[in-house]
């Protein structure tokens, strides 16, 4: 199974050459959107910046980057036991069609703690607006960073769950530099 997966990866890497489009304006900037409507948490805004405040694009993955999420819990009750699962996809050409194809993340991004952000604990998350700063050190997921290329856009999908049920889902698309 493993060798089949690696072969697929090589195949996908080669096939990319003919896919030269600019999905959702990712040649210029990060693109965000909610993946589902009607969920309990609405994401109002998303921002990415480095420790020195800069937000140069493509995103420099050789330095820690902070993801600021401004969210509204539209429900009537606080949300506890929040977990985040992330998946990563690449924009690539498969048999002449450009689309988002998942890449392996080695279980590194499953069921992450969604309550604690540095010294801030947001759980239980009350109804109304909550702003969190999640500082991500790419070195902690180096195995994933190593397989990313600077020539194609990536999409990360974040699924937030509370007590096992999805409360919001957001996607971010962008290019990286390293
Ligand atoms: C969060 O978003 C809400 C709704 O757009 C806005 O009113 C509020 O000022 C924002 N808060 C912060 C700290 O950015």
pLDDT of residue 15: 47
pLDDT of residue 92: 84
pLDDT digits (tens, 9 = 90+) for 118-145: 888 999 999 999 999 989 899 988 988 9
Q: Whose structure tokens read 């002449």?
A: 96
Q: Distance between CA atoms of 50 and 59, rounded to whole angstroms?
A: 9
Domain count, the chain: 1
133 lines ligand 1 (CB under 6 A): no
Nearest CA to ligand 1 atom 14: 70
Residue 13 pLDDT > 70:
no
Give how far Cα 11 sits from Cα of 5, 42, 55, Å: 10, 38, 33
d(C-alpha 159, C-alpha 23), whole Å = 22
Is 80 exceeded by the pLDDT of residue 43? yes
Look-up of token digits 């977990």: 83
Top mutation candidate among 32, 43, 44 for ligand 1, by most atoms within 8 Å of CB: 44
Instruction: Give 165's strand partners.
Output: 162
Confidence of residue 98 (pLDDT cuts 50, 70, 90): confident
Residue 41 reports pLDDT greater than 80: yes
pLDDT tens digits, one per residue of 45-93: 999 999 999 999 999 999 999 999 999 999 999 999 999 999 999 998 8
Measured from the Cβ of residue 80, the count of other Cβ atoms closer than 10 Å reads 11
65 CA distance to ligand 1 centroid (A)? 21
CATH number at residue 130: 2.70.220.10
Percent of the chain with pLDDT over 70: 88
pLDDT the model gives residue 108: 80
Question: CA 142, CA 161: separation in Å to the nearest integer?
Answer: 25
Give residue 122's domain range. 2-177
Number of H helices, E strands in the chain: 2, 13
């Amino acid at each position: 199974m493993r060798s089949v997966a690696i072969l697929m990866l090589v195949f996908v890497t080669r096939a990319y050459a003919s896919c030269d489009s600019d999905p959702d304006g990712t040649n210029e900037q990060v693109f965000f959107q909610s993946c589902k409507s009607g969920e309990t948490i609405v994401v109002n805004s998303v921002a990415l910046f480095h420790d020195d405040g800069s937000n140069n694009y493509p995103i420099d993955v050789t330095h820690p980057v902070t993801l600021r999420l401004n969210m509204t819990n539209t429900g009537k009750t606080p949300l506890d036991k929040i977990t985040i699962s992330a998946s990563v996809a690449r924009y690539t050409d498969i048999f002449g069609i450009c689309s988002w194809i998942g890449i392996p993340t080695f279980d590194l991004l499953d069921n992450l703690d969604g309550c604690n952000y540095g010294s801030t604990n947001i759980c239980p998350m009350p109804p109304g607006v909550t702003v969190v700063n999640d500082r991500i050190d790419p070195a902690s997921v180096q195995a994933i960073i190593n397989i990313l290329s600077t020539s194609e856009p990536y999409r990360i999908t974040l699924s937030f769950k509370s007590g096992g049920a999805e409360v919001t889902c957001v996607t971010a698309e962008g290019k990286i530099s390293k």
